[in-house]
Amino acid sequence: MRYYRSLSLVCGLLVISCLAWSATSSISVKYAELIPTEDHLLLDADFEIYFDSAIEEAVNKGVPLSFLVEFQIVEPREYWFDDEIVTISKSVTLSYHALTRQYLVSFDTHQKSFESLAEARHQLMRVRDWRVVEKTQFDKDETYRAALLMRLDKAKLPKAIQVDTLASEHWNLVSPIYTWPIKDFK
Residue pLDDT, tens place only, 8-19: 444 443 434 433
In tens, the pLDDT along 19-43 reads: 344 457 789 999 999 999 999 999 9
Q: What is the pLDDT confidence band of residue 2, given thresholds at 50, 70 and 90?
A: low
Mean pLDDT of 133-151: 90
Q: What is the pLDDT confidence band of residue 185, given thresholds at 50, 70 and 90?
A: low
Which stretch of DSSP H or E encloses residue 10? Answer: helix 2-22
Residue 101 to residue 47: CA distance in whole angstroms: 25
In tens, the pLDDT along 73-127 reads: 999 888 888 889 999 999 999 999 989 999 999 987 889 999 999 999 999 999 9
Q: Which pLDDT does position 184 carry in this prediction?
A: 66
Q: How many residues does the chain have?
A: 186
Q: Which pLDDT does position 170 carry in this prediction?
A: 75
Is 154 a residue whose pLDDT tops 70? yes
CB 67 within 8 A of CB 151: yes
Q: Which pLDDT does position 100 carry in this prediction?
A: 92
Backbone angles phi, psi at 138, to 5 degrees: -120, 150
In tens, the pLDDT along 127-141 reads: 999 999 998 888 878
3-class DSSP assignment, residue 1: coil
In tens, the pLDDT along 165-176 reads: 767 777 889 999
